[in-house]
Amino acid sequence: MKIRSVLSRIFRLVAGGTPSRPAVVPAPRLERPAARRAPETHSARLLDGRNVLITGGGSGIGRGIALEMAAHGANIYFTDIDGRSRQSLLDELAGAGVQATGFDSDVASSQANEELSRQLLAQGVTIDVLVNNAGIRNTPPPGAGAAREDLDRLFAVNVIGPLDLTARIVERMSAQGVRGSVLFIGSMHQQAVFGDAAYSASKAALAMAVRELAWQHAAAGIRVNGIAPGAVGQEDGGAASLHPYTPLGGHKLVPAHIGRAAVMLSSDYFAERITGCMLPVDGGLALHSYMTMMKPPPAHAQPVAGPEPGN
Ligand SMILES: NC(=O)c1ccc[n+]([C@@H]2O[C@H](COP(=O)([O-])OP(=O)(O)OC[C@H]3O[C@@H](n4cnc5c(N)ncnc54)[C@H](O)[C@@H]3O)[C@@H](O)[C@H]2O)c1
Write the pLDDT tens digit of every residue in 17-59: 444 444 544 444 445 555 566 666 666 799 999 999 999 999 9
Write the pLDDT tens digit of every residue in 226-251: 999 999 987 655 555 678 888 887 77
> CB neighbours (10 Å) of residue 149?
9
Write the pLDDT tens digit of every residue in 88-111: 999 999 989 999 999 999 999 999
User: What residue spans of 159-221 are helical by DSSP H?
Assistant: 161-175, 197-217
Residues within 6 Å of ligand 1 by CB? 55-56, 58-62, 79-82, 85, 106-108, 133-136, 157, 185, 187, 229, 231-232
Q: What are phi and psi of 149, to 5 degrees?
A: -70, -30
- Report residue 15's pLDDT band, with 50, 70 and 90 as the boundaries: very low
Helix, strand, or coil (residue 190): helix
Dihedral sign computed on CA atoms, order 189, 192, 194, 196: positive
Q: How remote is the CA of residue 52 from the centroid of ligand 1, in Å?
A: 17
Count of positions (residues) in the chain: 311
Q: How remote is the CA of residue 21 from the centroid of ligand 1, in Å?
A: 57
Question: Domains, the chain, ranges and CATH?
Answer: 45-294 (3.40.50.720)
Q: Kindly state the helix (H) or strand (E) to which residue 130 belongs, with its residue range.
A: strand 129-132
Q: How remote is the CA of residue 56 from the centroid of ligand 1, in Å?
A: 6
Query: Which one-letter amino acid corresponds to residue 229?
Result: P
Question: Rounded to two decimals, what is the model's pTM?
Answer: 0.86
